[in-house]
Amino acid sequence: MHTGRELLILLPFLLFSIPFHSLRYAFALWPGHVSVAPRWSYEPMDTAIMLGNTISINCEAEGYPIPTITWFKGQGKGSKDFKPLSMRNHSLLLNLATDNDEGYYMCQATNEIGAGLKKTIRINVNEPARFEQSARNISSRRNDPVTLDCRAKGDEPITIGWTQNNGRIDLNNFR
């Protein structure tokens, strides 16, 4: 299969090109003489995760020498100031995601050849709707007004509805 990409090899008194997918043969012919800048084999993308869930985000690059993958976390609200993260491999692992995990992350692939690669992504941690208080019974005298309070927390939009005797209550026409 020909990808249309070629690598130009310059050796003393020789000039020729090799298709990119044939690099393994170039390594065998001239070990230690072929260098390739990193290129994405799996580029990370923006993603979302539910609060409390676990996710692994891959970042992979190929080249020669083999690129080193480093993950960084953005500090603050913006995406300009990044702090390195300690990862065991090319994957960013968020275990039991919290609000603090939300933000900008950057994957960097370098191998001392060329400028390297950088990709900044945004991770959103979504919080499902939940009630702030547990249900409780409220008593009143017949025909006396009663105020029922229901508060929910989570990511917007949140819609609260009321039911009575398995039927939905229309708050606009409720008497």
Q: How many domains does the chain contain in total?
A: 2
Domain check: are 72 and 12 in the same one? Answer: no
- pTM across the whole model: 0.67
Domain check: are 52 and 110 in the same one? Answer: yes
Domain check: are 39 and 29 in the same one? Answer: no
For residue 39, give the CATH number of its domain.
2.60.40.10
For residue 79, tell me if it sits in a domain: yes
Per-residue pLDDT averaged across 77-87, rounded? 78
The burial of 21, by beta-carbon neighbours within 10 Å (0-12 exposed, 13-18 middle, 19 or more buried), is given as: middle
For residue 46, tell me if it sits in a domain: yes
Residue of higher predicted confidence among 123 and 27: 123
- Residue 13 confidence (pLDDT): 42
What's the CA gap between 139 and 137, in Å, rounded?
Answer: 7
| Enclosing domain of residue 40 | 35-126
Domain check: are 72 and 121 in the same one? Answer: yes
DSSP 165: T
Domain check: are 14 and 61 in the same one? Answer: no
pLDDT digits (tens, 9 = 90+) for 25-78: 445 555 556 899 999 999 999 999 999 999 999 999 999 999 999 999 998 766
What's the CA gap between 149 and 136, in Å, rounded?
Answer: 11
For residue 92, tell me if it sits in a domain: yes
Compute the mean pLDDT over every residue in the chain, rounded to the nearest whole number: 81
